[in-house]
Amino acid sequence: MEVQVNIVEFVVPVENNKTVFVWNIEPSQTHADIYCSLHTVFSSFGPLYLLKVCPLSPAGFYGLVKFYSASHAADAQRLTDGRSLFQSSPLKVRLSSKQTPHFMSDGRPLSHARCLELANHYLGFNGWTSDIITMKELTNEEDEEEGEVRRRLRFGCLLQLSFPHHGQTTRGAAVVEHCFTCTEGNRVTEGNGVTE
């Protein structure tokens, strides 16, 4: 028996083979109803990173559905194209043919909330746990120039993931670094935002 393995990386999906476009959506439903209908249909194939419903001129809508997995997107396209699903006329469903720009192909890490969402989808809500074993400040440096104090903080973290249903545990380590500038009056300037 051949087993198909689907590897899902915990990065923002940017590849065109993970994006599906849905056309010929009738304007007989509200924007919110169309969104719910599309979500019901396409989330049945696998977890979704993004779902958008956009108006088309002069009437109707189109949808953009982005999956974490290319195989889920391919299955969704193949099994929904030309079917009515939630309206009277058939939908046109296609995989994206747009090429991913080179600078976007590296893949940004997913936010913490998205990582939890994916882990819960694949492992079940009680299928895993994470425990911080230790967290330590590695450096706390200050440089002063032209009346501004620039601080750099670096923290390290050792984390353990446990999969109780499988009797497995694994450990991982991460280092995060954060820089900010202190000016007169205890103002902290960070990127484009200023906090008092």
pLDDT digits (tens, 9 = 90+) for 41-83: 999 999 999 999 999 877 889 999 999 999 999 999 999 999 9
pLDDT at 71: 93
- The residues with which 151 forms a beta bridge, in sequence order, are 142, 180
pLDDT in tens, 95-152: 998 765 554 556 688 888 898 899 888 888 888 898 999 999 888 777 777 767 788 8
pLDDT at 104: 53
Model's pTM, two decimal places?
0.71
Instruction: Show the beta-strand stretches assigned E in the chain.
Output: 19-25, 48-55, 61-67, 92-95, 129-145, 148-163, 168-183, 187-190, 193-195
Residue 23 has pLDDT above 60, yes or no: yes
Residue 18 has pLDDT above 80, yes or no: yes
**Phi–psi pair at 146, nearest 5 degrees:** 50, 45
Residue 184 has pLDDT above 60, yes or no: no
Is the alpha carbon torsion for 177, 160, 172, 71 positive or negative?
A: negative
pLDDT at 56: 87
**Phi–psi pair at 33, nearest 5 degrees:** -65, -40
192 confidence band (pLDDT: 50, 70, 90): very low
Contact (CB, 8 A) for 138 and 144: no
Residue 157 has pLDDT above 50, yes or no: yes
